[in-house]
Structure 1
């Protein structure tokens, strides 16, 4: 198999490109596009022209699918070409066996993508059999499609229903009691907001890409529903043998450019710093299970970064995968992400199953792409809508420690949900 790259004559924005490709897919009766926007594979967007995603219910199979990659010759540095677009839902490893309305995982092979590079140029990239001619007519047709993109299709949503604050207080208090009893150091406790949705989920994603500018946005859809993610968090980036994770733990609201004092307060918060350090250590241990001895390090600790509506504390852990380790083994060692479970992870998973009243679905899983030439990148599926048969759901939560205050934890959920609820109108 070979890689073909052609620079496109267009300066269309990602959100307008998504609108055009959505119309194209419907006209040609293709599966809808899939998209990664923000900061993926050192690019600003990677969009599959059409992605037919198949549900996967077995955890071992879900981890194995992205390892099934062909050999590609003539690879160009920076290119993506295609690969497996998909998601791994938290449901895959929920000890309670609960499941949401969407499949626990889904993957789809894509051999054609549009990529917006860091310099603002669009590329058509394709993975082709060695004896196939270059699809020049397809490139020309795409340039015509992108030359006059339509307005996005309509969508609407009512206000989201929330659990009572007192219900969340009770769960947080029960978690604090478990921490005080020495069962664990930290757990991530979440709530689920739900509502009605009508219209085109791809248009919701395009509008969110334009307004929120999240670093790890992702869109996937199929007959089973849609996943619309505006995540700020990187779960895994594996390029060659080098792997990196950037866990987020610690949050304060961010309303405008003049509230830098909140960023400083976050960095000085004993509770938030403790949260982040504990999870960074957990991620370091997870990667240590599959990385070469001595290669795991923390090049960045407790960096304050902006995200839609909030400030976050994040750290970076990186390592070099041991000889013979593939992505299935990497995922088995690290999934679900430590930042949305707790420490120790196994007890946190069990406690979450005991305390949270509903399953999480896709939320707090991972979404992304495995490419035969660019590697693997997955976000943490937070700030993520799940859409299914006229309903929309949004999970929100935060890390609980011995110092947690129930009201403050509820307010953190609201700070995180606010930009997405404003997007819904």
Structure 2
């Protein structure tokens, strides 16, 4: 399909894009890719949209594709291929803006079952699609560096092409009132400390037997909740601002993510991935101790070794779709500090091969190695054995894949899922041969701190 003329409308810049999002929050499938105002390489742009003209939902072996005002079609092909086949029907030239239209949504951790053969041992309770992605013909892009705001539309969606003024009018009148959100009852965890110790010991056994080098073990927290999850997200982003945050709602659930971690970025065929491995808690009340924690992380041979394992895993994943000889590691073991924790981050780059797409790259690297362990397949098999519940959206990805072939994506850590009147969130960490169970368990609680604080706030 040839591209209609791209329409660009400049709107007033707002330092807080949440004001704009509140005005489209009630439209179908609203999505907010939110840099949360952080001073960070990932903190320049916010992207907002809603009401996609095509939706794709993958559940098990089936992907249901719904075009606006048309009967749904069901496919059993690879969901990444289905997505790419729809994107390539709407080719556009790349612009200076990161996103002017295309696919946005989530790819759950368990979508990996369409890539690798995994046992079915853990319980699935959320009953959510493994992939929920919309094709959006319009997007509001807020550039915090240049303090500019533009509304883009290609006109692929006939309805929106005729009624773009409706979106512009909505955005001109942000809604200030937000219904409340609250939690109640007991906060439950699917691995208490004794059960975590048992799982930890099992992983240590597998490492000694040579099955793996590292396994990421996570705990799930759950509590009854009710109300509008957008209110909870606004409070989360205030308390745990992160550069790859997102709010995304589909009929089945709302996803509230304050992720610090990029999975993959593609710009004109150039790839960047930034795995996190290595964590220390922040101490903002004591700058001297906070700096001590940061230095301890930077000088930790154990954390550097864990990080290197994941760097090697990702170099291997990138090799499936990159031009030979293009993969490099320009930065290794760099300190990055966030609201509640310090992290050790490496940067890996590559060049996408000419016959490959962003969707193929996402498939080749999915799920991210920093949240599985190494080697990836065996680590995922062990995770399925030891974690009582499937991860669902947690440790998957929230991403955009533009009509222009560009992509950016997060790993959905520090992420809450609201559905079935329950609020669920997870935290985990990588376990290696010389890990200490007490220290690893504390690291999990450090990573969960902002979400645990949010639960306390929502109860009051």
Would the TM-score normalized by the shorter structure come out above 0.5? yes
Match for residue 81 of structure 2? 64
Matched, 1:9 2:12: yes
Match for residue 342 of structure 1? 373
| 1:367 aligned to which of 398, 407, 411 | 398
Match for residue 92 of structure 1? 111
> 1:203 deviation in Å?
2.1
Match for residue 151 of structure 2? 124
CA separation in 2, counterparts of 1:387 and 1:40? 29
| 2:417 aligned to which of 386, 400, 404 | 386
Greater Cα shift, 12-21 or 231-240:
12-21
Instruction: Answer yes or no: is the 8 Å Cα contact 1:34–1:50 preserved in 2.
Output: no
Greater Cα shift, 60-69 or 38-47:
38-47
The alignment partner of 1:20 has SS state of coil
CA separation in 1, counterparts of 2:396 and 2:381? 16
Q: 1:53 to 1:205 in 2, by over 3 A?
A: farther
| 1:112 aligned to which of 138, 162, 165 | 138
Instruction: Answer yes or no: is the 8 Å Cα contact 1:43–1:115 preserved in 2.
Output: no
Q: 1:140 to 1:327 in 2, by over 3 A?
A: closer
Q: 1:43 to 1:127 in 2, by over 3 A?
A: farther
Where do residues 192-231 of structure 1 align in structure 2 (5 Å cutoff)? 192-231=220-259
Question: Structure 2: which 5+ runs fail to align?
Answer: 63-76
Where do residues 113-262 of structure 1 align in structure 2 (5 Å cutoff)? 113-117=139-143, 118-129=145-156, 137-138=165-166, 140-146=168-174, 149-158=175-184, 160-162=187-189, 163-256=191-284, 258=287, 259-262=290-293
The Cα offsets for residues 5-37 of structure 1, whole Å up to 9 and x where unpaired, read as 111025261222222222xx3xxxx31421101
Q: 1:328 to 1:133 in 2, by over 3 A?
A: closer
The alignment partner of 2:173 has SS state of helix
> 1:303 deviation in Å?
0.5
Give the CA RMSD over aligned residues: 2.3
Matched, 1:37 2:37: no
The Cα offsets for residues 93-130 of structure 1, whole Å up to 9 and x where unpaired, read as 25123534122111111111111113222211112149
Question: Structure 1: which 5+ runs fail to align?
Answer: none
Task: State the TM-score, normalized to the length of structure 2.
Answer: 0.85
Q: Number of residues paired by the alignment? A: 417
Task: State the TM-score, normalized to the length of structure 1.
Answer: 0.91
The Cα offsets for residues 127-181 of structure 1, whole Å up to 9 and x where unpaired, read as 21499978663365134323xx313321112463223111111111110111112
Greater Cα shift, 153-162 or 244-253:
153-162
Q: 1:130 to 1:90 in 2, by over 3 A?
A: closer
The alignment partner of 2:78 has SS state of helix
Q: 1:399 to 1:133 in 2, by over 3 A?
A: closer
Q: 1:421 to 1:17 in 2, by over 3 A?
A: farther
CA separation in 2, counterparts of 1:88 and 1:137? 31
CA separation in 2, counterparts of 1:272 and 1:65? 39
Match for residue 322 of structure 2? 291
